[in-house]
Structure 1
Amino acid sequence: MTTLDPKLKAAARTVAAHAYVPYSDFPVGAALKTADGRVFTGCNVENRSYPLGMCGERNAIGAAAAAGVRPGEIRELVIYMPGDRLFSPCGGCRQVIAEFLPADARVWATNDGVSFKEWTAEELLPDGFSFDGLEPSV
């Protein structure tokens, strides 16, 4: 079993303080580590059109992608939420996680306490949608 990286937890907690959450009042921060050791963070950003809000997980992965990180290069993702309850990533985040993290990459949910939940990317979205094996139509 792997262990939760305290530096990633601290980075996720720090960025959660920058979340824009006037509607849910539920700040979430995410920090990820790439195969070469780079760390990227993101927080949730809400707006009045709820479906257009962005989760911390997707913002962290988007920041990594903007820096040139490609699918398969992210090794670990930590999601921080305040309080004592833990939640898993939403469905949209699960799809993005499935596309950018290898199936065996670790995803952690953590909070202000010492508790955490741990999954592999594949456990979060078993049999996720993929274009693998499909022939392009020309």
Structure 2
Amino acid sequence: MMADKQNVFEELLRLKENSYSPYSNFKVACLIYLSNGEKIKGVNIENAAYPATICAERSALAQVYSLGYKKSDIKSLELYTDSETLGSPCGVCRQVISELVDWSAIISIYNKNGFQLETNIKELLPHAFEPAQLIK
């Protein structure tokens, strides 16, 4: 069973401290809850060459797949951004989430003030580029 939003928020606050963000000082943390009760963690990892930066969502999703799990195993994605306003996944992360996370999975977004929004990938990326579009 997934933890309540306040417990998730508190864990995200602790996890964000693992962020490597010396350039922006904008910490992002991600928890992915799997249907078997496992929890996968990710944080943003910056680089002086900005395109080499890894977002927290992609960091966590890479671990999910590296451990042998698939999109059907993902129950929810919990995202924290070190922001006073609503912070949501960047465009690259939205695209990656659209392919690696089942579209029925819950995406919960938190900021410095706590839980802000519950959504899904269809709402975040309504016209996603999908693998089927690559078929000739």
Task: Report the TM-score, using the length of structure 1 for normalisation.
Answer: 0.85
Distance 1:32-1:45 versus aligned 2 partners, 3 A rule: same
Q: Give the structure with the higher percent helix.
A: 2
- 1:39 is matched with 39
Q: Which runs of 5+ in 1 are unaligned?
A: none
| Greater alpha carbon shift after TM alignment, 114-123 vs 87-96 | 114-123
Distance 1:11-1:129 versus aligned 2 partners, 3 A rule: same
- 2:49 is matched with 49
- 1:127 is matched with 127
| Greater alpha carbon shift after TM alignment, 66-75 vs 16-25 | 66-75
* Counterpart residue type for residue 44 of structure 2: N
Task: Report the TM-score, using the length of structure 2 for normalisation.
Answer: 0.87
Deviation at 1:16, TM superposition (A): 0.8
Give yes or no for contact 2:87–2:111 (8 Å, CA) kept in 1: no
Give yes or no for contact 2:6–2:114 (8 Å, CA) kept in 1: no
Give, in whole Å, the separation in 1 of the partners of 2:7 and 2:96. Answer: 23
- Confirm whether residue 111 of structure 1 aligns to residue 108 of structure 2: no
Distance 1:73-1:89 versus aligned 2 partners, 3 A rule: same
- 2:99 is matched with 99
| Greater alpha carbon shift after TM alignment, 106-115 vs 41-50 | 106-115
| Greater alpha carbon shift after TM alignment, 44-53 vs 101-110 | 101-110
Give yes or no for contact 2:72–2:102 (8 Å, CA) kept in 1: yes
Distance 1:22-1:114 versus aligned 2 partners, 3 A rule: closer
- 2:88 is matched with 88
- 2:27 is matched with 27
Deviation at 1:5, TM superposition (A): 3.6
CA RMSD of aligned residues (A): 2.1
- Structure 1 counterpart SS, 2:71: coil
Distance 1:51-1:104 versus aligned 2 partners, 3 A rule: same
Give yes or no for contact 1:71–1:100 (8 Å, CA) kept in 2: yes
* Counterpart residue type for residue 33 of structure 2: K
Q: Which runs of 5+ in 2 are unaligned?
A: none
Identity of aligned residues (%): 31
Give, in whole Å, the separation in 2 of the partners of 1:128 and 1:49. Answer: 27
